[in-house]
Chains A and B, each alone.
Chain A
């Protein structure tokens, strides 16, 4: 299948939407929290892990997924959920802790659950990986042609759950794709300090499943590899692993002093901004003009602003609802 104009333009639009969403959340997050950082204050209380810089991975993978394909994600989930096609208003409202949010305001930014797009995430590092394998087992038992995808960081690949999950998925030949987003760090810990192998693709080989490494800043490369992995799983040929080498442009969390970064490290990686890379490729083909790129940016800014207005104007859940719809 050729890499068509419409497909790649959609990829571009998705990446711009995710970036716009993340950067706006990054601004709103600091409202009323400063000068002395008060994590509980402002319209968005609690911790915040943003996805800026890694958008090509979420967009390139989710482009091949249907709404009924289950996806599990992490503490850095916004990009995956937006790429999966969430209702942006309900997502933003959830981040604001509002009653109109995906979880009626009780989950917040790290606990976004969306039955409409079969999406779940959570703050336990590696926690989503066995869930995806469980979903894949259900899919196989029901003889469906859905595919489960789990996104997680290279840090999570050192958690026991990763190894148990990938082993079982291989043994049972389940329709699941493991996407390791290697952004070089788990909080401040570089991969060399935590991982016995250089590449998590090697770990795929250790469990007997196909594993590839791709340039996670290049959306077309991710798109192409993900297509093969997902098609393969849909055909019933079993699990595979994609290791995407990428970089987060913001701190691990908002407020991260980033003392662990090398001198020119971030600026060097910013030269590999996925928006610019894909934008340049599209312009090279004559498929995107500067004016069209600006129009796309304006449209995404409008969509995010609309979600913001919706979230700000929505009510908080009432105190007496605190224990409703909870399970523990």
Chain B
């Protein structure tokens, strides 16, 4: 199982998504990767409604990629997602997973191979945590022994010690813990594809942030293909390798990397969705780790920031300390190693630079497995 080595690799990497070039499936560990998902000209009209809820959407998602569907309430995000596991049958169009037409598969069997996480967790209140997680493996015919081992492993992975939690009922867990169980349950049979509909929506900001970080760390190990729905653009920026900004009837306004969308919103609709502070958000996506640092200056009275932070955090610290440069160090305590410094001009240059060599010119490049490797 791919997940056992997790804790040994607890992230020293930044928590924002990797840059566009590292998205190629080649980065995914062998054997655990996801499968491509293709929506081809898919439409859903609900009976009795004039306008279709989803109007001719075409969307290609590379193996091992997190694509976030973001858009206002009622724009058709959930409908689009549910067509992938056929909880909603498309009116027309084709859906392929790993090249297979899912509309030709047995719906129940197909769903067992697609992880599904929803905001309300949907845990079965009358079953213990272990039973909840073990359901899909059992339906797939796994032995009791193998299922039990897998359940234990997954509880460890999502940070709930099995000894303490396996025999509890859902109501005996906090909301955040229930969400983790929801994720564990979706991962149970190691499906190549996961659908997540506002999975962290019902939690407080701090818990959400932690769940997001943990999930991204997990995903770096697993390399699943993930469709993630949210209406929170900041969550989209954080979680998405690519983001599909959807307008009414699930019409794609822009489909690109977070960096590219912030740098060059396709139209006013996308801009309005980004809201104010788009450039600040771009800084937030740039890790200090990737920045060109200046040598450590002679002055010793500068504030210090950890190299795990983003350029946005560096700017924040400059504003806070009233100085136009800060030291970048292993940690904030002042005792760790100091790697260099960064100045306000550097931040401006980073923004200007990134816009100049805009990676959004060829959004399909990442779908080609040979790209970026």
The yes or no verdict on A and B being binding partners is no
Q: Which residues of B contact A (CB under 8 A)?
A: none
Q: Which residues of A contact B (CB under 8 A)?
A: none
